[in-house]
Structures are given as structure tokens and as C-alpha cells.
Amino acid sequence: MARAATVHVCSECGACSAQWRGQCPGCGAWNTLVEEHAAPAARARGRSGAGGPVARRSQVRVLADVGGSPLQRMSTGTGELDRVLGGGLVPGSLVLLGGAPGIGKSTLTNMVLAHLEDAGRGTLYVSGEESVEQVRLRAERLAVDGGGAGALGVPVLAETELERVLEVLAERRPQACVIDSVQTLACAELGGAPGTVGQVREVAARLLRVAKEQGTAVILVGHVTKEGALAGPRVLEHMVDCVLQFEGERERPYRELRALKNRFGSTSEAALFEMREAGLVEVLDASARFVADATRSPGGVVLASMEGSRPLLVEVQALVAPSELEQPRRVVSGLHRNRLALVLAILARHGRVRTGGCDVFVNVVGGVRLEEPGADLAVALAVASAAHGRPLDGAPRACFGELGLTGELRWVGHPERRLQEARRHGLDGVIAPPGSGPGAAEAPTLRDALALALGSLQTGAEPPTDGLRGARRLAA
Ligand SMILES: Nc1ncnc2c1ncn2[C@@H]1O[C@H](COP(=O)(O)OP(=O)(O)OP(=O)(O)O)[C@@H](O)[C@H]1O
Ligand SMILES: [Mg+2]
């Protein structure tokens, strides 16, 4: 009997190798090659037609001569999601939605299909993980007031075999289809377990062909690994038009949706949702909630940040405590660790706030993740305020600005929108970089910002370190 042909596929980049190797010849990653059955690619392509024998010669065309209607988009019924997608779901596009287990991927996609079904568009929900009964239970919950009556009208197919799914798609030709999840579908021809590199790639490639041929918008739900990356080969991210990441903390109801890649829109937009019994609810005025919850205690500072094109006020909290460790802890949540290290170094060098012997914890309240440099000043002021045990001086304040390595405060984008948002929520004294416009308390350097925020205490004073010395004495 002939031995089944196998090939070694890299789980990072999808490169193939006949023999096993420690290092992938494609991307150089170590220990990423896994043995899989060779794909009957030629056969598969021949049968589905798209990549088979060339029946029609492709032509070179000048773009100006290419006709075409403007991009038609379908509203998902959720303004926040539409914004992240760049204005709605594009027919014939392939969207990959990733997120940790239980974050709400199925809930969100169910709600989208419910709205589209309500709007009279054909839909299909393919569930490889849950039975039809389970999907119905969720739909009943959503139908209470979240997804409308449409949630119960969505056609559901509980199936894990790719061929059957393609058959149903060809029969029904829906305008939108959800595959929940891409890791549970398997192509019988290929062999091997679902979720393997080869399977995920083949499933996505065949669905991509159907999406483009039929004009069906396909949302692929994807699992993420422990490190937060989408499970499966990176090639999957290259194949799709849009990669959405659903994030949040399990203990908190807030969920954030971001576009990591978008061929039809910006990737700087983020949407905020709240998980409730009746499904995911858009948080339209997140600033109001975060400002109302802000503590105004030592270590708490309100940041006027930008989430894509939208201003958002969030509280940044810091705790500075004497450390008993050789290497004090630096713990961050909602921020890059390296950014905190940089801010602490600038604070020590240019602000005389030294935290060398202390543990420093920084948290962005509400599970929000800050990715913009404008957050630097809020982190610096929160740490300084925590180190001194003093809340910010004066009226309720907000701040924003990037810190330069020489201690200067640098201009960041959209100052007028940030100021306006702060004013709208009653925060008048906004500490901002020079050039931010009228209404801002402009500070050219970190020293000036510290003086504005913490007043006389900060004129060259070191943070009180009695507690720290006491802890050291005790340790000795
Ligand atoms: N009755 C309820 N009230 C409030 N929240 C609920 C209720 N039932 C479920 N949830 C929330 O919905 C979440 C599950 O949502 P969903 O099934 O959409 O997640 P998922 O990302 O698809 O998960 P998986 O990775 O397991 O497929 C739960 O973690 C919980 O937070
Ligand atoms: Mg699910």
C-alpha cells in the first residue's frame, strides 16, 4: 500500500518542508514545523474552478478604464462595529474575528446576523462548536431586547465538514455568513484533525473563493493562543480582508474591539461594548462613565486620549510602594511595559521622581488598552502623584502629551478634540503640550507639568521614601 504523503508545515508562516527541521526555512522561527498530510491542492482547485485550468486569459487594464460601483456596505446594526469595519460589512469580504474563550465572539456575530436577517438580507450561521439547541438558547437571550426578533430567524447549520458547508453556501447564496469557528471546520479530502495549519489554511482559502465568487461577506471566528495571537498560520491573516480582535478582562463587563488589519478602512478605530445578559451593548459615552468612576485620589489621573477618531477620557492609576525585591516590580495593565520603563526613566532624570527602590504598578481603568504616545504624561503624573501621596492640585484635571527623552512635552494629534471632550465632562484644567490651543494649561516640559499638577511639593523635592528606608531597615 502506498504511504500517505506528508509534509512539514510551519505553524507561524505556513511554509512547507519535505523534512522536519528545527528552524523554519521560511520565517526562521524555531520548533514550529508540524507534520501534516500533503494537500491535494491541484485536485481541490481543479474541482472548485477558481484556480483550476485557465479557461479565460486575464488582461492588463488601466485603472481609469476599470468601471465599478462605489463600495456598498451593509450595516451590522451596531454603530460601533460599523465604525471599526470602516463603515459596515463589505459584500464579498472575508473578516477574521479573534478573541479569548468566552469573550463574546459568538454573541457579537449572532447579533450581527440577527440585524441583517431583520433587514431582509440572507444570512447563515455555521456552528462547529455548539449544537443548534445551544445557539438557540443564546438567540433567545439576545431576542429579549438585544438582537431583536431577528436572532431567532437566523438559519443555523451545525456542521464541521467543509464540503457540506460549501454545498449549503452554494445553495442558499446568503449575503452574510458566520463560520464559528474556523478551527473546527475540516476538509475531508485533506485528512488530519481540524485546526491544524493545513486545515485552517485550506478552509479559509476555499471560503475566500466562495466569498469572492458569490459576494457573500464571510466572518470567520478564530481562537487565540495563550499569548493573545490568533491561532493558526499567519498566512490566514494575510488572506483575509480584515482582522478584528475582541479583547477585555473576564472580571469586567467591558469589551474592546479593534481592527488589526483592514483593507476597507482605518485600523486606528476601537469600539467599546458592555456584556449584559441580553448581549453586547455599545458603550456610547464611555468618557462619562470613566470620569464618573475616577477616584481623584493620589495616583489617579484622567487622560484625554484618542481611540482612533474618537476622544476618550480614561483614568490612569498608579501605585508606588517600597519593594523588598532586588529587582523591583514593574506591573502594567492596558499599556506597554516598555513605555512605563521609559516614562520612569524620564521621571527620574528630568522630574526628580525616583522610583528605583519601589514597586510600580500602573493600570488603565476599565480594561481599556492605550496604544498612543499621548498617554505618557498621564502615566508620569499618576506615578509622581502616587510617589508623593498627593492628589493633583486644583480643579478636576485631565492631561495628555508625549514625553521626549530630554524631558520636553511633545505635541500629539487632535488636541482640540481632546480639550473639548474634557470640557464637556467638567474637567477644565487640562495640562497639555505647547501648541495645543486655547483652554489648555500648556507645559513645555515635564518639570512644568509636574509643577502645575503637584504644585509647590514638586519644586525639586524627592518623593518621601521613609517607608522605603523603613522597609530596607526591616529587611536588614
Ligand atoms: N445570562 C448571561 N448574562 C450575562 N452574561 C452572559 C450570560 N450568558 C453568557 N454571558 C456572557 O457571554 C459570554 C459567552 O459569550 P460567547 O459564547 O459569545 O463567547 P465566545 O467568545 O463565543 O466563547 P467561545 O470561545 O467559547 O466560543 C460569557 O463569558 C458571559 O460573559
Ligand atoms: Mg463561541
Residue 461 has pLDDT above 50, yes or no: no
Q: Which residue has the cell 451545525?
A: 158
* pLDDT band for position 76 (cuts 50, 70, 90): very high
Residues 229-263 pLDDT 10s: 666 667 788 899 999 998 887 777 888 898 989 99
Residue 449 has pLDDT above 60, yes or no: yes
Predicted pLDDT of residue 385: 94
Ligand 1 neighbourhood includes 137 CB (under 6 angstroms): no
* pLDDT band for position 115 (cuts 50, 70, 90): very high
**Best probe residue, ligand 1, of 226, 277, 281 (max atoms within 8 Å of C-beta):** 277
Mean pLDDT of 32-53: 56
104 CA to centre of ligand 1 in angstroms: 5
Helices (H), 250-332: 286-293
Predicted pLDDT of residue 46: 42
- The minimum-distance atom of ligand 1 relative to the CA of 108 is 18
Average pLDDT of the residues of the chain: 85
Residue 433 has pLDDT above 90, yes or no: yes
103 CA to centre of ligand 2 in angstroms: 8
Greater pLDDT, 24 or 432: 432
Phi, psi dihedral angles at 391 (to 5 degrees) = -75, 165
pTM of the predicted model, to two decimals?
0.77
Predicted pLDDT of residue 463: 47
User: Whose atoms come closest to the Cα of 104: which ligand?
Assistant: 1
Residues 300-313 pLDDT 10s: 999 999 987 789 99
C-alpha distance from residue 26 to each of 17, 232, 251, 275, 374 (Å): 9, 16, 40, 41, 37
Residues 339-386 pLDDT 10s: 999 999 999 999 999 999 999 999 998 878 888 899 999 999 999 999
| Residues flanking ion ligand 2, Cβ below 5 Å | 106
Residues 126-180 pLDDT 10s: 999 999 999 999 998 887 655 456 788 999 999 999 999 999 999 999 999 999 9
Alpha-carbon dihedral 31, 243, 107, 210, rounded to 10 degrees? -100
Ligand 1 neighbourhood includes 101 CB (under 6 angstroms): yes
Query: Is the alpha carbon torsion for 80, 82, 87, 93 positive or negative?
Result: positive
Mean pLDDT of 1-16: 73
Q: Which residue has the cell 426578533?
A: 149
Lowest-confidence region among 7-16, 112-121, 211-220, 461-470: 461-470
